[in-house]
Every structure is written in structure tokens, then in C-alpha cells.
Structure 1
């Protein structure tokens, strides 16, 4: 048998294209009279329902609102393919804060189909994106749905967990499913929690011959027909990611998308400027930021087309590991904020920016860091936070955030010179104490980041008011002394003569000896030789203390095994992710901890991750899989500690399709 396969790749791809069946598969026996398709969408308050039946039949419609109240019913006999329109008097709208979902039940005598959908309006305008006529700055990340050890083959709970991480942990309002349609479970969770989604057809850079193009159009059709009832989806990607211009292909792809779904705009992601434009939104991968230049390229330099959305940034431009030096991890985070700052600037006239990417992912020998891993994520492959993850998290307001992106240890910096500490936070201001002595109050840097919801806090002065308070210096003299001490800290003994004379004058003025000058340096800068240096950060909102964090040296590490203790077998099996981490007494993960450990399981669970493993930058995920209903035990052994966790495996009511009576002409 000669089988022709046209995969959506060509050349070298930077991620792995897994093969095989990795999602649930069902065999459905249908009655001759059955519902083939239902498409539900709205234009403002008007509900439009397109129904396709296998044969003409009496049907019944029932609309249930988010309060589980029946708000409309209708019975009629129609042709096999028809449309119904209905205007409701009162609507609970779907948006990112209140993701209200309606349920439409379509019934024949022998078949029932339940569709969840939401009332909402979406519009990309020249100046940005509007949801329900309210402008929203899009802030998001791209997502590969690959996971360690199993590729794409993760079941419902883990797919849904990714959506929760993006929305609740990373404070995002949009995700791009790069570069293929994601699991249905992921999309359903986006609907439920109000996470916007840009979904695109499979592919990466390559366009083949006519058979390839027809396969691509078929992929678009399958994607839209499968997913067009989901309110979270606001944009169809109908152009193969970063491919060249192809007039006939992309005219056809846009026409097809609008025929199948007149309710949504289209986009097509490219990585070069002034591309042919057939879509509704010009979507562009902007990798121009290098850390010192503007975060984004001016829109008019890329295209005259409008509207405009940045769909990738950073990523391979600055790959960063969770265990890289502190300064690199901080720069990685700031680069992401720099792009967001540029993209949400009202004068930029952009809809926002979707960064590359959510998490690290497996690749092959041509990419990655020699270990076949692309370290492009703001999270690692286990979805554990890098510093950049906290930068995104701080932009939300649903929970207080104050991440001090420093261990405050001199040995982390060249020459022992701690130049600045960056705090990613949504606090109004932060007070700093050193060994219980008040240093100063620090505020978000609105001058550098005027357009971010929550700019970071930069601390470059660790002496603050202490020279005035403890040494009783006048403010002008305290500032001069502080400046000289910082110069000594940075440049060593190479102090200009002018500063040497100034320091001698200050010492004499306050009746101090040279030995007192040495004391001032060690006490107020490096802490060298002191018994202990403890920094306490206190975050305030509305002049009330909200968060307190302490940075001190690590004495006795703490080991934790975090995660749920229940597996739930639903459509197939379930996977549980546990996280083993090593922290200091304040709960800060020790970024350079690489301790080895072993894991064993017994009972009704099996191990997916390795039996012998080690911490990656202070933490590591362990994955276990259910075998059957029952109970299992996991034992983690570390040189310093043994942790045991009992796992219960429950069996939910299976989501099986109704098997209808077999008829002579049924399939």
C-alpha cells in the first residue's frame, strides 16, 4: 500500500512533532436521524443558531442560562440544515472577569446535543482590542502543550491545569495555541475561567505543494468546526506560523474561515515586515528587543495594515534557565516587561503582546542548550516559576504579589557589589528594614514603566535614612557619605582624591576616627564580618500591610512535597503532578540546589517521571499515573529526608456517549 502523508512541517522545526494517538478516541454509533452539527454565536443581543441534521426531524431547543435557569424553549420541524435567530431580553455576558456560560440543548427523538457558549462581542480596532465594547490590553504567552516524558499525551486534569496557571498564576488574559489546535480540555477550561485564546492551524514556516495546501485548508476546516462554539477563542490563525507570503493559499484560508465562522476575525503570524495581508488582524513576531532598545518596533515600520498584535517576543533572543545566575534571570524578566510596556502604550496603537513562551519544551540536537531543551519559557518544563514568571504574575490584581528577585548575597555579584534589587510586585509601596532598622520606603518605577498596571520596584539605596537616624548626620552629609560608601563598594580603594578629602572632612565633622570610617563601610554596605544581616520587606496596599518577606542566610533547608493526594479517573486515566522542593526557612526556593533523590511507588499508581532524579534549580516535578480505582503510595528518598504520600484513586462517572438502538442503515 502506498500512503502519502503531508505533515505540516518542512525543514528544521524548533520543537518536536510527536506522532501517535495521544488524545481520547471514541467510536460512536449513531441513529439514522441524528444531529450532525450545531453552531451558536451572537451578534450583540441576537442569538444565531445554525443546525445541521442527518434528516428532516422534529427538534426541540432549550436554552439554560449560567444560573441554571431555562430562559427559552422552542419546538419546530425544519429542513436538515437551517438557522434560528432569537433576541433575548436579558443577557449575562461572557468576559474575562465573569465567564458566564449558557447551555443550549438540541434534541431530536433519538439524539441530544448539549452546547456550551457565551454571549460576547469581540472587535480588533485600529487602536486595540475590545471585548464587549470595552478596551482590553492583551497580555499573554504562547503555549506548547508538550510535557516532560510523555510529549503531548497528558489527560484532562493536566491540560486544564495549564489554563489555570496561565490565568491565575501568570495573570494573563490571552494565550496562543502555538502552533496547532490544543486539547479540547484546555479550551473548555479557557471558556470556564475567562482566558482568551488565539488558535491556529498546524505548521511552522514551511509551505509545500498543492496537496500540502489542500491539507492545510482541511486542517483549518477541522479546527473551526470543532471549536467555533467556544467563547474564549477570539482569533483564528489561518496562516502557517512564520511562513512566506502565498497569495492563493492565504486568500483561500481567510475566505474559508469567514464562511465557516462569520463571528470571528482572522490572523496570520509572520516574522517579517510588510507582508501580504488578507486577514483581519496583522499578527507579527517582534524579536527586536535586546534589553537596551525599545521593547517593540513601531507599528508603522512593520506594516500599514491595521489592527496589529505582537504574537511572539523574547524567547530565543534571551534563553534563560531556572538555575542561571541571578542577574540573568532578572534581566530575562525585565525584557518581558519592557516589551509589554511598549505594546500597551496607548500611542503604540497595538492590541497587546503575546510572549514566547509559557514554558520550556523538548527539542532536538539543532536547538536548545545541548540537552535538547529550549529554555525559552518564563516557566520550566514542569511549569515551575523562573523569575520572569513572577514579572507576569505581578501585573495582575487578583492576589497580592511581592517577589524579591534577589538573595541579597554579595557573592552573587561581581566584586560583591549589589547594584540593585528588583521587586516584582503589585504593592503600592514597600518599606525595607535591615536588622530591624528602617531603611526607606520604595515605590513602583512609574517613570520607567508608565503604562504597566504594576511597575516593578527598584532598590538601589540600601542605606536609606540610617546614617541620619543612627549616626545623627544631617541629610546633606548623610547623602554625601552614602554616595562615597557606594563608590568604595563598587570601585574598591580607587577613590578619587576629591572623595577621599570629602570623607575625611565628614569623619572629622562628626568626630569620628579612620576606624569609624571602616566601620561605616562594613556596617552599611557589605555587612562583612557582621553576625547576621536580615532584610525585611513590608508591602502595603491602601496604607495597610499586606505582605511581609524576609531575606537572610540559609541555615537549615526545608524539604517539601507539594501537591494534591487524589487522582480522578474520568475519560481515560489521570495524572498527578507533585513538586519536590528545597527552600530556606522563609520558603524561598534555593535556585542552585541540584540534590539527587529517588522515587518509588506501590499500589494502584505508576511512575511516569524517573525513579532516580535530581532537583533543577531547587525544585522538580514528579508525575504519577492512575492504573485503576484504589490507593497507592509514593516514597521519596533524599539523603536528608524521606517523604511518604498516600494517593487515593477515585473513579468519576465515565463520560461515554449514549449508545442508541442499532438500525439497519446505522453505521
Structure 2
């Protein structure tokens, strides 16, 4: 059966890759009990758990490991004559060769997309061995193609994302990428008509029959909302021939759907059962969400409500561990993005982990999905691989409600006209429905929206006067390069005479209050400028977190949080741009907010900036009212929903600054900062961001040692050396140790394995009272 095409609206559903366990299909984590070694060494095999990075790197990565490493594992698996056994690799960086019992079964090129291995023919009844050869050296034939030493990000080696062992019947629902069929494979759900009263569309299920005889099959669909209400329906019986595959399309209607949105990301559970002779032989469950995404003449609409999209860019990199982080860590990063006030993340510059996309679905974060690439256009083989990556990206992620834009182009790359035409066409072939938007940094007629960086335009207008009448514009990057290099072009290795402390947005937290305020002001000015463009539907700042990149010997520090996820002042500017009447899940930050962008020391500015989404703010110094102000509106704030507040003080007096926010004359929120006194102690905290530490599989959280005075005020100039020690628990500390504090905070990563018992950590420093913390498995982590 073919897909039903209607020229109306597109609804995308979420594909969940959570564990699927039943008597019909099993999906179990295959990450334990691996052995690893790098080819460059003659060392013995070491025991590791997947996700795993080929090498723990320093904080600033100047000489990243590139080379070959090996993984192996012994395993047993039940393999009856009617069963199929698959291994699903979410991501291996960046070329993988796989052997089962000394027989080579596959080669896979490309580090950011998954692949499936059918291991059924190679298994023994007992005592199987898998070996994986992994290489992350430069290779111009597949993406990103550009040598690491010239690249604006890093590609860290290893089996760095999850691996799953999947067993099914010989008649089964396929994997969308493995099936390798246009607009098919696996489960593909589309609703082309969505209103508040009804949503209608199709569910396509792709089946493969590896039996030697024909089968009469029916499918049962069970849709359950978050209140437990079920909608059940069944297909007619159909024939699927021996050793063949077939796609079945089922119409679906949902009355009064609970729509997915950025403030209420309602989700459903969809279960599909495969039935033969009145018996279930395969079943697959997904978590899905219903929404309508549309660009109209006057802007972008989500569920028929106009939305100016405020977003950010993110590189999926942890310090020391590179890309090898847990699903829970991915979720925590998404929480931080949502809490910062953003409603979109651009996946710069590659497809991110499936767990991160799942988190975006759960949290209500829109996504611009991105093809791997940056400033590199390779050979015919490279281009062919790029088009295949577009297909696989679409097949992996087409069912996510969060994905609204597809960057089916190579970022900041001079592509040929024929390639751009083929790239956009490829994405449309894979998702052949209306309101499926392709994006390119070149203003090209083959694409639906134009996504330049702000610095690609010319000051002072940049893109505010853009209007070609065909495409809307989304500012995909802004706030960094135009201030760093004064629009010096695309050569990001020309550093001489470019840095200026008074203008750059590249500010480490340790650079001090004045420079962090400059960074925040840069983002404010640029965000305000973006909103003056009548054709601009949204923006994504550069960037959410500081990160490493191959071509540079320092951290790229334009993040509004540092690489350890500690906020800078700019973080609170963005948080203030979400309306106070937007109330999110109780575990997220929303509602009225206020933040004083000052440390209030003798070196602080007497023009104190306060970020708030309130109507008025009153400022007190040592409980004496300084002033009650409205937002400060000028040419660099007049387009903002909530301009900052500025309070002018006559002189510095040590003590406490307190800001109180008012809405409709009622005080609703307050914030205080105290002049720091003598450093006396270390206070330990750890960051969970509403996601508990995984009790069964490896997880990692940041542990912060705050150097404070007797009142608990962080000393913003403290650079004391701190030593972290584990005194109890099954875990390890990863990072520099001892480590110098930056702006009063020293950070290390706590990596857990089987988190069943309490973990105790102590932090020590010269002339400071020790910090201690105990982390318990069953305590609430929010």
C-alpha cells in the first residue's frame, strides 16, 4: 500500500528508543562487559562499558587522539530457528568494522548516525565473540570530511553512543535505516490534518518476512494518551510472501487530540502488534506527539499560534569525555537549554544523540536537525555519502514532534547548485509531506528557509532588510563572530589583531564581571537587531555551552554557560525573555524571574543591570530603596519582549543588593547578591537537572566545589586549588585533580557505574574548611 498524500499540514511523531521487552521482541542494553585497547599501545585489554571514549582528553584539547582502537565482547544469546538477532549501534566515531566469531559482517562509515547489524547467520549456540575496529582519523570521503586540525568542532573516537541487542521473530517490523527504502522502513507516522477537535493521518508499518512460506498477517494499533485513555483499531488481514517485505498504511483519526507544544509537550504511547494465526509475533511501542508546524506569509505557527522562535546552538561535548555521555546527561543538557529560556536548539553541526532528541520531545524544545558538515565540499564519493546521510537522518528522526526544520545542507560550505538541488530533493523524498521544511545557509531556491549567520550579513543592518518574497529567514547563528572578528569573513584561523576585550562575546567565566556583562550586552544587541527583520521567523544564538574545536588551542567561550554548564550573565538575559505567564512542568524553571548581573564588589559597575520578565523592579542596597524602575528601552532593546532594567548607584557600599520584581503592582519574585568577604570554606553541590542518576548503567554528573565566605557567598575572584576525593561509593572522578577554581568554582565529573549505594565526596583546599557531600541512590534529584 502507498502513502496517502494530502496537500495540507504535516504532523510528525516521536520515535522512542527506550528498552522494548516482551516475549515477542526484546531490546536490551549491550553496553556492559566490553574490553578495549588502542592500537597505538601494546597494553592489555581493559574492561570498559559503552558509551565509551577512546581517550580521556584534557580540558582544552590540543592534541586529540586520532587513530585505531579495538573493542571486543564475549556473549551468549538465545537463537532459535524462528528468531532474528540484531545489534544496533547508535553511534561509532567514525569508521567501524565488525566481526562476529571471526567473520567480518559489516563496515560502516560516518560517526553521527546509527547502523544495524544482522548477526543471526554468524552466531553459535554458545560462546560468541564480537570485535569492533574503530578509526577516527581524517577521511575526506565521508562527513564531515574536513581534517580535524582545520575543523570547528571535534570528533572523539570510540563506541560513544549506546549499543543494543535486539531479538525478533523472523517476521518483524524493520529498522527504518536498515530497510533502506524511500519514505518507508520501520514505523512512519504522519498526520496531515491537525486541529484542536481532530487529527487525522496515516501510520505506515514496514514488515519483513524471512520465513520460507507466505504469511497471513494483521496489525493491531493501540494509542494511549497520558491519562490512560486508549484508542484501538486493527488492520484487515493481508498476505506477505516468503522472503519479502511489505509496507502497510493505516488511516488514523484522533478526536480532541492533546497537542504537543513548547509549553505543553503532550505525548502518546503507540503500540503496534503483528498478529499471525491469532498470535502476537512482534510488537513495537513508541512515544509520539501530535502537532501542526507551519510557515505562513506572516511568520511561523505552531498549532495555529504564531511564534517567534528563540533558540540556541549546541555541540554535544562534555569536558574530558568528549561525546561519550549517558542518556541522562543528554537529558540534563536539554533541561538546561529549556531552563535558559530557549524553545529551539540547532544541532550544530551534526545529528545529535537519540536520547537528546527524546528529551527535546519530552521537554517541548523545537529542533533544527542538521547534516554533518562545516566548510568542506568533497569529491563525488563524499557528495554521494552526504545524500545518504540525509536519508538516514530523516529515517532516524522523522517521527520526532520536536523536529521542525531540516538543515539538509553543509554548513558554511560552498556547495554546487546540483548538490543543493539533490540534497533538498532527497529530504523531500524521504518525508513527502507538506510543511516539511528544508534549510540552507545559502539563499537558494531549492530550500524552504534561508538560515544564515548574522555575521554573513553586513553591519549595521545585517539581515533586517532581507525580503526576497519566497523564503523566510531564520538567523541560525548570532552574537559571536560579528563581535569577535568584526565580520572578518569565514577564515576562523586568522586570530591576529582580532581579539578585543571590550567587544568580544568569547568570555570565560573567569574573565570577570565587566567582560561577562559585555558578552551579555552583545547577545542582547544582536537579538534586538534580529527582531527588526520583517521576514525573520526566529533565531539561534551561538552558543549554549563553551566547547573545544580542532583548529584552535583554546576553548571557544561564547557559550552563555561554560563547558561545565555553569551559567554566565547572558544566560539570565535569555531566561528573562520568556514571559512570566508561561508556566512549564514543575521540574523546569518558568514563571516570574529576576537576576542581578553583578557580584557587587568594589570593582563592580555602578550601573547595575537586572534581567527580569516583570513589569517593574525595585532595587535595595542594605534594605534602603535605591529606585523602582521600568525596563530600560533604547535602540538596542526596543524590540525585546523584556528589556533589562538599569539602576544607577552613586557609589559602592559593601553589603546586599536586593531586586524585587513586580507584576501588576504585586511583588512576585526577588533576587539578592552580597559583597563577598574572606574565603573560608568549600561548599559541594552536584547537578542533576531533574533527571535521577541511572542506577543500572554508567552516568555522569558535574560536581561543583564553591569557594565561599562564612555566609555562603561565592568568591568570584577565587582561583584556589581544590582536590576532590571519593571516600565512599562505586564511582570514579574524571578531570583535572587537583584543579584550580575558576571564578570561585572548581568542577570535576563524577562517573557512576551501578549506583546502588551512597557516594561520598570530599573537597579540600589550603586554608579552607573542607566540603563534603553524600549522594544517595533513592533521594529526589531535583
1:20 aligns with 158
Of 145-154 and 66-75, the range deviating more from structure 2: 66-75
User: How far apart are the structure 2 equivalents of 1:7 and 1:20?
Assistant: 17
1:51 to 179, 186, 205: 205
One of 668, 671, 683 as aligned partner of 1:546: 668
Task: Specify whether residues 123 and 392 from structure 1 end up closer, same or farther in structure 2 by C-alpha distance, changes over 3 A only.
Answer: same
2:774 pairs, out of 626, 633, 646, with 646
TM-superposition CA deviations, 1:595-618 (whole Å, max 9, x none):
111111243111122331121122
Distance apart, 1:144 and its partner CA: 0.4
1:586 deviates by: 7.0
Cα pair 1:410 1:526 within 8 Å, conserved:
no
1:635 aligned to 762, 767, 776, which one?
762
In the alignment, which of 419, 422, 433 is matched to residue 609 of structure 2? 422
Deviation at 1:28, TM superposition (A): 2.4
Change in 2 beyond 3 A, CA 1:269/1:384:
farther
1:460-495 superposed Cα distances (whole Å, 9 cap, x missing partner): 3x2xxxxxxxxxxxxxxxxxxxxxxxxxxxxxxxxx
Aligned residues of 1:181 and 1:201 also touching (Cα < 8 A): yes
Equivalent residue for 1:39?
188
Relative distance call for 1:100 and 1:226 in structure 2 (3 A) is same
Query: Which residue number corresponds to residue 213 of structure 1?
Result: 383
Aligned mates of 1:299, 1:112 — CA distance in 2: 53
Matches within 5 A, 1:468-483: none
CA distance in 1, matches of 2:647, 2:598: 11
Q: What is the rounded CA distance, in whole Å, between the counterparts of 2:712 and 2:534 in structure 1?
A: 40
> How far does residue 559 in structure 1 lie from its aligned partner after superposition?
3.5
1:456 aligns with 2:621: no
Contact 1:604 1:649 in 2 (8 A): no
Are residues 1:297 and 2:460 paired? no
1:224 paired to 2:394: yes
**Aligned 8 A contact 1:394 1:402 in 2:** yes
From the superposition, tell whether residues 27 and 191 of structure 1 become closer, same or farther in structure 2 (CA, over 3 Å): same
CA distance in 1, matches of 2:770, 2:698: 28
CA distance in 2, matches of 1:325, 1:71: 57
Conserved 8 A contact 1:539-1:548? yes
Separation in structure 1 between the aligned mates of residue 772 and residue 658 of structure 2, nearest angstrom: 34
CA distance in 2, matches of 1:258, 1:313: 28
- 1:434–1:534 CA contact under 8 A, matched in 2: yes
Q: Say if 2:329 is the partner of 1:158.
A: yes
Show the 5 A alignment for 1:427-576. 427-448=614-635, 449-460=637-648, 462=649, 525-526=650-651, 532=654, 534-557=656-679, 559-563=682-686, 567-570=693-696, 572-576=697-701
In structure 2, the partner of 1:314 is 479
1:62 aligns with 2:226: no
Asked if 1 retains the 8 angstrom alpha-carbon contact of 2:202 and 2:251, the reply is yes
Separation (CA, whole Å) in 2 of partners of 1:300 and 1:229: 32
Contact conserved, 1:60 with 1:76, CA < 8 A, in 2? no
Deviations 1:493-525 (A, max 9, x none): xxxxxxxxxxxxxxxxxxxxxxxxxxxxxxxx3
Segments of 5+ residues of structure 2 without an aligned counterpart are 1-96, 98-106, 110-138, 175-185, 210-214, 241-245, 275-279, 485-503, 581-589
In 2, the alpha carbon distance for the partners of 1:247 and 1:288 equals 19
User: Which of 434, 438, 452 is equivalent to 1:284?
Assistant: 452
Aligned to 1:313, the other structure's residue is in SS state coil
Whether the aligned pair in 2 keeps the contact of 1:628 and 1:649 (CA below 8 Å) is no
Spell out the pairing of 1:35-184 with structure 2 (5 A cutoff).
35-36=173-174, 37-43=186-192, 44=194, 45-55=199-209, 57-78=217-238, 80-108=246-274, 109-168=280-339, 170-184=340-354
Which position in structure 2 is the counterpart of 1:607? Answer: 733
Distance 2:751 2:507 in 1: 30
Alignment gaps of 5+ in structure 1? 463-524, 652-667
CA distance in structure 1 between the aligned counterparts of 2:777 and 2:640, rounded to whole angstroms: 44
Of 387, 404, 428 in structure 1, the residue corresponding to residue 569 of structure 2 is 387
CA shift in 2, pair 1:577/1:409, >3 Å = closer
Q: Give how far 1:381 is off.
A: 0.3
Question: In structure 2, the residue corresponding to 1:633 is in which secondary structure?
Answer: strand
1:388-409 Cα distance to aligned partner (Å, 9 max, x none): 1111111123233222212344
Q: What SS does the corresponding residue of 2:641 show, helix, strand or coil? A: coil
- Return the alpha-carbon distance in structure 2 between the equivalents of residues 233 and 311 of structure 1: 15
* Deviations 1:617-653 (CA, angstroms, capped at 9, x unpaired): 22233211223353232221122122232334579xx
Structure (1/2) with the larger helix percentage:
1
Equivalent-residue separation in structure 2 for 1:64 and 1:579 (angstroms): 41
- From the superposition, tell whether residues 258 and 182 of structure 1 become closer, same or farther in structure 2 (CA, over 3 Å): same
How far off its partner does 1:446 sit?
3.6
In structure 2, what is the Cα distance between the partners aligned to 1:139 and 1:587? Answer: 34
Contact 1:120 1:132 survives alignment (8 Å): yes
Spell out, residue by residue over 1:572-608, the C-alpha distance to the aligned partner (whole angstroms, 9 max, x if none): 4222222222346776543322111111124311112
TM-score in terms of structure 2 length = 0.68
Give 1:278 deviation, angstroms: 1.1
Q: Do the aligned residues in 2 keep the contact of 1:115 with 1:229 (CA within 8 Å)?
A: no
How far apart are 1:447 and its partner, in Å? 4.4
User: Structure 1: how far apart are the matches of 2:465 and 2:713?
Assistant: 41
Corresponding residue SS for 2:510: coil
Q: Cα offset for 1:42?
A: 0.8
Quote the residue 2:426 is aligned against: 256
Aligned mates of 2:462, 2:712 — CA distance in 1? 36
Identify the residue that residue 486 of structure 1 maps to in structure 2: none
Instruction: Give the whole-Å Cα distance in 2 for the aligned partners of 1:307 and 1:107.
Output: 42
Give the Å deviation of 1:357.
0.6
Distance 1:440 1:564 in 2: 36
Distance 2:687 2:379 in 1: 49
1:211 Cα deviation (Å)? 0.8
CA distance in 1, matches of 2:711, 2:522: 28
Alpha-carbon distance, 1:226 to partner: 1.0
TM-score (norm 1): 0.80
**Number of the residue aligned with 1:492:** none
2: CA distance between counterparts of 1:650 and 1:573? 16
- Aligned 8 A contact 1:179 1:203 in 2: yes
- Per mean C-alpha deviation after superposition, the further-off stretch among 152-161 and 305-314 is 305-314
Aligned-residue CA RMSD (Å): 2.6
Structure 1 runs of 4+ with >6 Å offset? 1-4
Deviates more, 1:598-607 or 1:427-436: 427-436
Bigger radius of gyration:
1
Shift in alpha-carbon separation, 1:549–1:226, aligned structure 2, 3 A: closer
